[in-house]
Amino acid sequence: AQSVTQLGSHVSVSEGALVLLRCNYSSSVPPYLFWYVQYPNQGLQLLLKYTTGATLVKGINGFEAEFKKSETSFHLTKPSAHMSDAAEYFCAVSLLRGYNKLIFGAGTRLAVHP
Amino acid sequence: DVKVTQSSRYLVKRTGEKVFLECVQDMDHENMFWYRQDPGLGLRLIYFSYDVKMKEKGDIPEGYSVSREKKERFSLILESASTNQTSMYLCASSQTGETGNTIYFGEGSWLTVV
């Protein structure tokens, strides 16, 4: 069965520092992987996704993630944090292709301080 | 622009009341989903629908039912609300037929059961 583990429920970085949010998955078949962001009192917005092809995926707002099959990981990075990046981030794996049911991790709350 | 609209953002209901949460999407998507979001648990799938009048249980369907009479509308029903159903509810939709389809979320409905 598919599952997603996000390491660290809270991450705090300084403005301008590297952002690294960790995600590991388990899946019996090649996965489709997603990162979503949720700003306070809002729904989820897609940051980026991996389906097939290039393993380094670029998303919105300067974020990127690399699919590493050997490590079963899909970590999210951004070279330089901005105050506006403070939000909750969710990693997800697709369960069924056609219906696109997603299994979500528990989420990581990112704080950015001056 | 893609739009998933949840008509009620904030609701307070009494224990035992019947509660309806409404969701409308304007993208002609076949798939629609109801998730529940709780701190530390991420998002958990309650029900999903892949066509009009079709539905399938997700991971936590107990205490909930759904209705999809029209393609654009997917309703979540709490037959007899209980305090442990106090939560944030997120509706989502996606197209079928493509791999790795993006799921689009509404802004969420905060339900408090007292």
- List, for residues B24-44, the tens digit of each pLDDT value: 999 999 999 999 999 888 999
With beta carbons under 8 A apart, name residues in chain B contacting A98: 50, 96-97
- List, for residues A78-92, the tens digit of each pLDDT value: 999 999 999 999 999
Mutate to test the interface with B, among A99, A100, A102 (most CBs of B within 10 A): A100
pLDDT at A99 over 70: no
Instruction: Please report the DSSP string for chain B in residue order.
Output: ---EEES-SEEEE-TT--EEEEEEESS--SEEEEEEEETTTEEEEEEEEEETTEEEE-S--TT-EEEEEETTEEEEEESS--GGG-EEEEEEEE-SSSTTPPPEE---EEEEE-
Nearest CB to B105; choose among A43, A99, A107: A43
The pLDDT mean for chain A works out to: 91
Mutate to test the interface with A, among B95, B105, B107, B109 (most CBs of A within 10 A): B105
